[in-house]
Amino acid sequence: MLTNYKSKVFVFALAMTFIGILPFEADAQRRNRNKDKEEAPTEKPAEKPKKSAYESKTDGLTADEGLFKVYQDDKKVMLEIPKSELGKDMLWITRLVATPENLSPYLGSGWKMNEQVVRWEEVKGKILLKKISYNNTADSTDAIYTSVINNNFAPIIGSFEIEAQPDDSSAFLIDATKYFEQDIQAISALASRTRSQFQVRRLASDKSYIESVKSFPINLEVRQVMTYEANRPPSNSSTGLISMKVSQSLIKLPEEPMMPRLADDRVGWFTNRTINYSSNELKGDQVTYLSRWRLEPKDPAAYARGELVEPVKPIVYYLDPATPEKFRKWFKLGIEDWQVAFEAAGFKNAIIAKDPPSKEEDPDWSPEDARYSTVRYIASMTRNAVGPSTADPRTGEIIESDIIWFHNHLRSYRNWYMIQTGAANPKARTLQTPEDEIGEMMRAVIAHEIGHALGLPHNMKASSAYPVESLRDPEFAEEFGVAPTIMDYARLNYIAQPEDGVKRFIRKIGPYDKYSINWGYRVIPGAYTPEAEKSTLDKWILEKANDRVYRFGGSDGTNPESQREDLGDNSVLASTYGMKNLMKVVPNLLEWTATDGENFDDTQEIYGEIIGQWRRFTGHVTTVIGGITEDLKSTDQTGEVYNVVPEAQQKAAMDWLQTYAFSTPEWLLDEELLRKMEGYGAVNRIRSTQVSFLNSLLDASRAQRLIEAEAFKGRNTYTIYQLFGDARKGLFAELNSGEAIDTYRRNLQRAFVERLEHLMTNESSGWEARTVNIEQSDIRPVVRAELTTLLSSIKTNKTKLSDRASSVHLEDLIVRIESILDPK
């Protein structure tokens, strides 16, 4: 070590000696070199060409060609917006890609949170992004067009400095980084209600970023990760954060708008509405167009001859890569089930199902890409499926669609299959529904949701076209399913009895589906405007006007022909068969739901849903009382649109309610079953259920409909007096029979008196107040008369009932009624 150290010192000293001894020689050498340089001819170095502002801004960024040219790196996103795209309508879709647990039962991957039409404009040296509305329109050549524009001024949802232009000045370069990194309300995937629910404070900018930006020929796809600070996050509460992945899709609307088709209420359709101020009508004229895909025949001449022709661009649905392999077959069948309906409209292979491409086949493919329509599979406990679509507001042309299937909807159909068909269907008597059966049900659900995405709303009237007894016929059920359309909430055949031999219990595409698709999608040769099509469309409706199979109607709670979850043309008869089947299911529930080594949670769940089915049957029958049917017509058709349900049907409904809704439901009170599931609770559960039945029956709006029906002279109808009188006689039948009044009936009788008290003393409010004024109507006099009659009947007949519980109960009712009639 020492030797090494000395040697280093020696070298350092020697170096210093040379520096000290030769200073003048070194200085002379420098002077000579400088002199040589001065004498040598000088060459001016070549100047590097200066970068343009455009090049400087994009230098080092990766370029991606497409609708807009995108320049980007890990920190910056710049968009080159061509001047040719300024002022053009584009659709901006905000969609969820990934969500935290428990965000919402109905929010999951693929869910569309917002859609809006936007335009890019250059104003005062800036690029502005404006949200455009088509709620009000006018012909741009009309004077009133200026007023429409001035009274519908578009909000500016984005403003960008122009960073540079290319040499040919054909475009504007903007920096979009901050726009996609900030919490912009106009494109946020976090709704105000959700923000309030979870007490969201602000965006956590340091935990939010742009994941990717991709440009395609007609669309721009941006994916963000957004993290919010929240006081009550839906999950991982200790973090105080909500993170989600969001997709922003900007898609160019067609340069040549599709010719729209005028809507008609007689054929159910999702629609786009606008007020046309250029109309010749003496009003702001509402124009309603169908929402539908653009289908054009490849061979118009062959199509015009009536031949089946493929469309120029078929409707294609891709399956979500997350779809379990065993279900893909059924999803594809559900999608392509609509091919037969499009064949009725003259198109073959009009709708196609495809597997998602692999990474090798298409590395850029994404289900969030707005160019692709998909069926999304969501890992969620939500029991539902939905079929939304996105349409061009100018014409109603559907641009894209994403069907959502929530995984736990399998549970819904497993349970309904057992509850509604188990009595007649051995395949339904298990928690492990056979794959082919659950697959057929999934197929029907996907077909239903695809129907929505094709433009069809629910048609709750359709199922009332089929006679109840036909649904007990095996051949009929096999050919027609349960309703003329898959768009009704008529899911399973609960009417078929064990002895009928029916094998098919599941709904399917029906004749109404073929009719409506033909009406909405068939190209009418020679008709080049919406108005030119109208006479043909009207003719098609009139050809089917007298056939119940082709009727359309929604559900508003007053029409017994248009109800959710019902079947057949007679609610009372259908519900009778349904109740008979329920009563056969309950005694077998333990056997069908028990699993060795497991508890009774599944049994309890299905038992609860059986009560729900009882509620549905009772609701279907209750609607008959005070019911009003609707048969939509145009002014050139004869007959009434609205008709009161005949008196005999209403009386039959009241009799059914007394038998199946208000009698003590012994069939639900199997003690062996109940003691497997709970220690107590049956009495209160039956009480609350039956009280809800009673309150619905004695609803003030229902009573008012009966009053109005009777007000039309010469009409034989069920009256408000019959409603309350028949309800009282049935509910207090023990006063005549002398039978002891059990716990369940005592609860129901007290509820009857309380309901009458409510009608006597409470003022109209909410929805009820918009349909009836209880204080000034005939309701209170009728109620007072019923209370007086009931009081007299109890006092006269109470001695017939000698058991203590009945006697105490009746004495209590006397006091209650007297206090209502004379509050003093």
Q: Looking at residue 26, what is its pLDDT?
A: 44
Same domain membership, residue 746 and residue 820: yes
- The lowest-confidence range among 28-32, 741-745, 800-804 is 28-32
Residue 219, CA distances (Å) to 70, 157, 538, 776 in order: 12, 19, 38, 61
pLDDT digits (tens, 9 = 90+) for 377-406: 988 888 888 888 999 999 999 999 999 898
The DSSP secondary-structure symbol of 199 reads T
Residue 539, CA distances (Å) to 260, 527, 536, 544, 750 in order: 19, 14, 5, 9, 57
Q: Are 561 and 464 within 8 A, CB to CB?
A: yes
Q: Looking at residue 40, what is its pLDDT?
A: 53
Same domain membership, residue 153 and residue 201: yes
pLDDT digits (tens, 9 = 90+) for 46-73: 666 778 889 899 999 999 999 999 999 9
Same domain membership, residue 235 and residue 185: yes
340 belongs to a structural domain:
no
In the chain, how many domains are there? Answer: 3
687 belongs to a structural domain:
no
Same domain membership, residue 196 and residue 65: yes
Q: Looking at residue 368, what is its pLDDT?
A: 77
**What percent of the chain has a predicted confidence (pLDDT) above 90?**
80
Q: At CA 357, angle to CA 355 and CA 358, rounded to 5? A: 120
- Could you tell me which residues are beta bridge partners of residue 71? 63, 78
How many residues make up the chain in this entry? 824
Indicate whether 185 pLDDT > 50.
Answer: yes
- Alpha helices of 143-230 — where are they, by DSSP H? 144-150, 177-181, 192-198
Q: Looking at residue 46, what is its pLDDT?
A: 60
Mean pLDDT of the region 584-604: 94
The average confidence (pLDDT) of the chain is: 91
pLDDT digits (tens, 9 = 90+) for 546-565: 999 999 999 889 999 999 99
Same domain membership, residue 70 and residue 34: no
Indicate whether 271 pLDDT > 90.
Answer: yes
- The string of DSSP codes covering 715-750 is -----HHHHHHHHHHHHTTHHHH-----HHHHHHHH
Q: Looking at residue 19, what is its pLDDT?
A: 37
330 belongs to a structural domain:
no
Token duo for residue 371:
């160019």
Q: Are 162 and 127 within 8 A, CB to CB?
A: yes
Q: Looking at residue 269, what is its pLDDT?
A: 96
Same domain membership, residue 798 and residue 735: yes
Same domain membership, residue 227 and residue 86: yes
Mean pLDDT of the region 113-133: 95
The SS3 of residue 161 is: strand
In whole angstroms, give the CA distance from residue 516 to residue 513: 5
235 belongs to a structural domain:
yes
Same domain membership, residue 751 and residue 705: yes
Indicate whether 755 pLDDT > 80.
Answer: yes
Indicate whether 33 pLDDT > 80.
Answer: no
Same domain membership, residue 141 and residue 23: no
242 belongs to a structural domain:
yes
30 belongs to a structural domain:
yes
Same domain membership, residue 195 and residue 62: yes
pLDDT digits (tens, 9 = 90+) for 301-319: 999 999 999 999 999 999 9
Indicate whether 22 pLDDT > 80.
Answer: no
651 belongs to a structural domain:
no
141 belongs to a structural domain:
yes
pLDDT class of 25 with cuts at 50, 70, 90: very low
Residue for token digits 């031999």?
501
Q: At CA 72, angle to CA 68 and CA 74, rounded to 5? A: 150
pLDDT digits (tens, 9 = 90+) for 616-648: 999 999 999 999 999 999 999 999 999 999 999
Same domain membership, residue 207 and residue 98: yes
Choose between 112 and 569: higher pLDDT.
569
pLDDT class of 464 with cuts at 50, 70, 90: very high
Mean pLDDT of the region 408-418: 94
Mean pLDDT of the region 351-356: 96
pLDDT class of 163 with cuts at 50, 70, 90: very high
pLDDT digits (tens, 9 = 90+) for 499-548: 999 999 999 999 999 999 999 999 999 999 999 999 999 999 999 999 99
Q: 16: buried, middle or exposed (CB in 10 Å: 19+, 13-18, 0-12)? A: exposed
Q: Are 229 and 596 within 8 A, CB to CB?
A: no
Same domain membership, residue 171 and residue 102: yes
Picking from 492, 459, 450, 462, the residue whose alpha carbon sits closest to that of residue 339 is 450
pTM of the model as a whole: 0.88
Picking from 572, 577, 586, 440, the residue whose alpha carbon sits closest to that of residue 499 is 577
Mean pLDDT of the region 189-203: 93
Chosen domain end from 219, 237, 252: 252
pLDDT digits (tens, 9 = 90+) for 644-695: 999 999 999 999 999 999 999 999 999 999 999 999 999 999 999 999 999 9
Structural domain including 212 reads 54-252
Q: Looking at residue 18, what is its pLDDT?
A: 36
The residue type of 358 is S
230 Cβ neighbours under 8 A, 6+ residues apart = 198, 199, 200, 201, 240, 241, 242
Picking from 589, 613, 612, the residue whose alpha carbon sits closest to that of residue 601 is 589
177 Cβ neighbours under 8 A, 6+ residues apart = 75, 76, 77, 78, 210
Phi and psi (nearest 5°) for 476? -65, -45
CB atoms under 10 Å from CB of 110, counted, come to 24
